[in-house]
A and B are shown apart, each in its own frame.
Chain A
Amino acid sequence: MYKKIFIEPLFKNNPVSVLVLGICSALAVTVKLEPALVMALSVTIVMGFSNAIISSLRNTIPNRIRIIVQLVVVAMLVILVDQVLKAFAYEVSKQLSVFVGLIITNCIIMGRIEAFALANKPLPSLIDGIANGLGYGIILVAVAFFRELFGSGSLMGYQLIPASWYLKNGGFYENNGLFILPPMALILVGVFIWVQRSIQKELIEK
């Protein structure tokens, strides 16, 4: 059962490509691969812990302030992640800047708390949170891979396209500026959804 909870969000029930949640940050942090990786890791940690905490409190939370309690817990975890990044990975935290704070508004986190953690025990909730974070991370890294490769000609900051290929150095190649802009992330996510739906026919609406 735990295995199923873990495997499903990775592909079959992916939060981005199937549930179409968390699109906003997928557009914002995928220009380069490195911030996308750190973002994916941060979301996974926050989602795992917030699911586990809310799940262990689920029988005590007053129903009327349920959403507020969830938000406070998520916000606390996000601030902790932000502070730790600032202290131990300063360069990366500068790149992510406001986006770490915006994890609070990532719809996947609230979605998983409401849909899963409130109805399940802490351990399955922890697994569900981590799996959904990884599912989100897979899409994020895939989008960032294409955007950095075609938009900047590099991966993880290492230049892959030789400098002599570029037009300005007398070559034939030019980076595709559209890949740097947010619309391209949306197009790429659309392509991933297309690919997934052509594999998983049951997702196609009648």
Chain B
Amino acid sequence: MNTNNNLYTIVYATIMVVVVAVILAFASSLLKERQQRNVEIERKEMILRSVQLGADQAARAKDKDSYIEAEYAKYIKDSSINEQGKDLTLYICTIENGERFYIIPLKGVGLWGPVWGYISLKGDFNTVYGATFDHKSETPGLGAEITTPAFYDQFENKKIFDNSGNYVSVLVVKGGADASNPHEVDAISGGTITSKAVEEMLFKNIKEYTTFFAAKLKEAEERAAEAALQMQQSDSTAVTPTLQVNIQ
């Protein structure tokens, strides 16, 4: 057979492309569900990690997927707030003793691709409780180190507002941050652009929530003042007012 014939070449190419397309489409539809589940589990795992949950090694080793699902269902509630015409996602974590943490999703641009993460704030909307980061394609060993505990553990107990209430976020500082400074963490050596990307991501993403936080704090203050006033009036000393912030 003459395989250099024009018609033969065209027919050959057409059949080949169709066959390959069918194989790939079939594989994709077969594996899609599992892949999406992996992505979903990873997202939940990151949210849990940002509030320092989901780290039970024994349970993880046994059946990681259902463990993460169960922990997520137990502690985390998705909620959405509307701020200046923009829908913002906020995850609320309630732990056993009733304390609440507010988890903000972060999205940013790294050196080679997107970076993202979650940061959780305590009930004062100021102190960081935990943070976690991930990336699509930062340099392994350099920028990719943002996913390690050595980096994200630094964020605990940092503050996003300064003493006079101005928004400063948390800065990622090159050349050694002062551990006692509440607004600074160490950057990654060799990963300056990724570190700066994390800093910018934190600043931009948290900023969108600041007016919401301010409103919530004011609301809580008013409620506390009201409670204090009521207490004075009724002259009761047995009940102490608790600062409670509720978001629905």
Contacts and interface: CB of A to CB of B under 8 A. Distances in A.
Interface of B: 3-5, 8-9, 12-13, 16-17, 20, 23-24, 27-28, 31, 34-35, 38-39, 42, 136-137, 140-142, 189-190
Given A68-B13, A76-B24, A87-B34, A60 B141 contact: no
A146 to B, nearest CB: 14
A84 B23 CA distance: 13
Interface of A: 31-32, 35, 59-65, 68-69, 72-73, 76, 79-80, 83-84, 86-88, 90, 95, 97-98, 151-152, 177, 180-181
A64 B4 contact: yes
Nearest to B17: A72
A65 B12 contact: yes
B41 to A, nearest CB: 8
B3 A61 contact: yes
A162 to B, nearest CB: 16
Interface of B: prevailing SS:
helix
The interface centre, meaning the residue of B3, B42, B142 with most chain A CB atoms within 10 A of its CB, is B3
9 contacts: A35-B140, A59-B3, A62-B8, A69-B12, A69-B13, A76-B24, A87-B31, A97-B137, A180-B190
A98 B114 CA distance: 13
Nearest to B37: A87
Contacts of B16: 69, 72
Contacts of B9: 62, 64-65
Contacts of A35: 140
Contact of A177 (B31, B35, B190): B190
A98 B23 CA distance: 22
B13 A65 contact: yes
B31 A151 contact: no
